[in-house]
Chains A and B, each alone.
Chain A
Amino acid sequence: MKQTEEISKFDGGLTLVAYKHLSTGSTISTMEQSKTYIIPLQQHIGVISQPLVKPGDRVLKGQMLAKPGNMISAAIHSPISGVVTDIKEHDVPHISGLPDQCIFIDNDFKDEWIERKPLADNYNQSTSSSLRKIIRDAGIVGLGGAAFPSSVKQTEMNIKTLILNGVECEPYITCDDVLMRERAEEILSGADIIGHIIKARQCIIAIEDNKPEAIKAIQTAIEKDSTGFFKVQVIPTIYPSGGEKQLIKIITGKEVPKSRYPAELGVLCHNVATAYAIYRAIYFAEPLISRITTVTGHGVAQPQNIEVLIGTPMSSCIKHCGGYTDDSDELIMGGPMMGFSLNSDNIPIIKATNCLLVTAKAKNTQKQKHLPCIRCGKCVEVCPVRLLPQQLYWYASSKNIERLIEHHLFDCIECGCCAYVCPSDIPLVQYYRFAKTTIWQQERERKASDIARQRHEFHQHRLEEQKREREERLRKKREMLKNKSNEKTSDDKTSKQAAIAEAVARAQAKKAEHNKKKETENKTD
């Protein structure tokens, strides 16, 4: 195993002003409860969850409200006890600004939990698959921002190293920092559980060097642990070191190939907050119903970290933090590099909400067109995935899909380094998002048109079959009639009489039966 001091680095990246101090001046504060909770059915990568409750149902705290849609999906639980009032579309935090299906719950403020039977220390005797099931049933997804269903990643095949991602490389965001400072031992407990599931030999906790307090807290917790499972690895503060593939390169020196998974290199990454959530699930039988969110920026009066229930309206969170300042401008979910602007604050906190950033209006601004690309190449220098952002920009503008795929458009992690350094201020990531979503749409349309073609071909086949069968029938009938007319002799008359006699007999039998029925009916009346 590598010495802790031998680390590698990835190409590109940026050193950014961090503004972390804005929100680390106080400890994690607890959000007071709200009257209404809005819980979107899609808060994770994958398929939308399927509701198990309906309006009018009373639900308990921690009760499963929706089950996973399929393998790549997550369960959703109630953060409070109360009554489901509605399931309908509502604005959700999504870059498109479109609404989605949400469950609305009225809080009864009784905080009544479901029955909980935690495994606690006994988890050591459980199998990997039964622990994975607990994590899946707890609805735990990656809390670093990607929200991938965690148990799906936790394979026990061939994993030697668990990397806990305490890097938090994006400016302004400090939720993982304060979690490490205040709850280091619980994070290590969670990592122990993950290590048991995946049978890892070692856990490396990666932390950037701008977080000395967090490093100290984790090291203190490790000293209390006698297993030697844990090691802290301090890494230089470079954005985006917290990206999964970038972090693996730093820690192991190896690159995860395009379209492959870290597990193939014997590595698994989890965010420190995810490890904490897993600890809560195993030791307290608590599903994922809350998270730490950083509320920060120059547009909010008292930037801080809050422990907030999923489904809490963001407006309440801002209010808890002193409200908006007079010069507040945009509300962004996420950080300044990868976050996206929100249209309103009447939107719920979801599992992926690591930060609410309220910007303040910059002085002396002027609207202007972005300048043309001057082919300076600065974007290429900073790309952490070693792509050619300049080429991707040209091909995205001209919708040249073949070239976009050749230049590995889908390996772009949308970190924003290229847009940050562009001297013409071209919003490069927006071009890539346009290109990616357009290509996905075209693939969907191609699949749909393939099905439509099949249905049309079958439709034509069916009509031909019907025509053929009809002609078959008519041909047979014509033949039968022809044969009949050939046999025309005296048999004709007798056969006709026989047919008439048969018909009369049939009619009389029917009449008799009908009379009999009427008699029995009259008798029973």
Chain B
Amino acid sequence: MFTVIITLAIIASVFGLVLAYSAIRFKVEGDPVVDKIDALLPQTQCGQCTYAGCRPYAEAIAKGEADINQCPPGGEATIIALADLLDVEVKPLNAEHGEVKTLPTVVRIDEQTCIGCTLCIQACPVDAILGAAKQMHTVIEAECTGCNLCIPPCPVDCIHIVEVKPTVRNWTAELPDVEFVAPVAS
């Protein structure tokens, strides 16, 4: 009886030491789930979720401070992906944070009106606006995420939102119409 207790105690200590050693030797820096959440977010960096960018929002979700349905640019697909990752329920987008756009958008600067003040350049979170003080500012549309953060700072209101229309090379088919025309048996 005594030997059984000693044996079990020794086994428990050995495993305890192995675990303690592993916890120190194989420690992971940071929280890996934040990276996984950030990988699912659209990187628009717009702040509609009330956080200062996609990474802060990912960190908030990981901490449990934010819900998964606060991202309008991500839309339904992102909510579903986050629910899958974190094993929580899918819920509809929280309308307080904005609406899903029907078409992707970018912004365009009206060159006749631009005064070269660089305020929009400083506002862009992905450095998608080209220009310098008193030089023409231009949006590099391929890099514009449609976050619209450049629009409020512009003192002459020369930045406009432009919808990006689909082309034959990047269109998406629709779910089929459920109605169809059928020949009636005569």
Contact = CB atoms under 8 A, between A and B. Distances in A.
Contact of A459 (B126, B170, B180): B126
B43 A425 contact: no
A110 interface: no
Contact of A94 (B38, B128, B168, B176): B168
B181 A92 contact: no
B6 to A, nearest CB: 51
Interface string B28-54: 000000000010011111000000011
Contact of A456 (B45, B174, B179): B45
A159 to B, nearest CB: 31
Interface residues of A, number: 44
A437 B173 contact: yes
B172 interface: yes
A141 B146 CA distance: 38
B173 A433 contact: yes
Contact of A369 (B42, B145, B173, B178): B178
A198 B175 CA distance: 43
A362 B182 CA distance: 9
Given A368-B182, A456-B125, A449 B42 contact: yes
Contact of A42 (B38, B168, B171): B168
A448 B44 CA distance: 10
A363 B186 CA distance: 9
B25 interface: no
Contact of B183 (A364, A440, A456): A364
Contacts of B182: 365-368, 425
Given A94-B168, A370-B178, A455-B127, A364 B184 contact: yes
Q: Which 5 A/B pairs are nearest by Cβ-Cβ distance?
A: A452-B43, A430-B176, A449-B43, A455-B126, A96-B171
29 contacts: A42-B169, A95-B173, A96-B171, A98-B168, A363-B186, A365-B181, A365-B184, A366-B184, A367-B181, A368-B182, A370-B178, A397-B175, A425-B180, A427-B176, A430-B175, A434-B172, A434-B175, A434-B176, A436-B173, A438-B173, A440-B170, A451-B143, A452-B43, A452-B126, A453-B43, A455-B128, A456-B45, A456-B53, A459-B126
Interface of B: 38, 41-45, 53-54, 77, 80, 124-128, 143, 145, 166-176, 178-184, 186
Given A363-B183, A459-B125, 4 more contacts: A100-B167, A100-B168, A369-B180, A431-B176
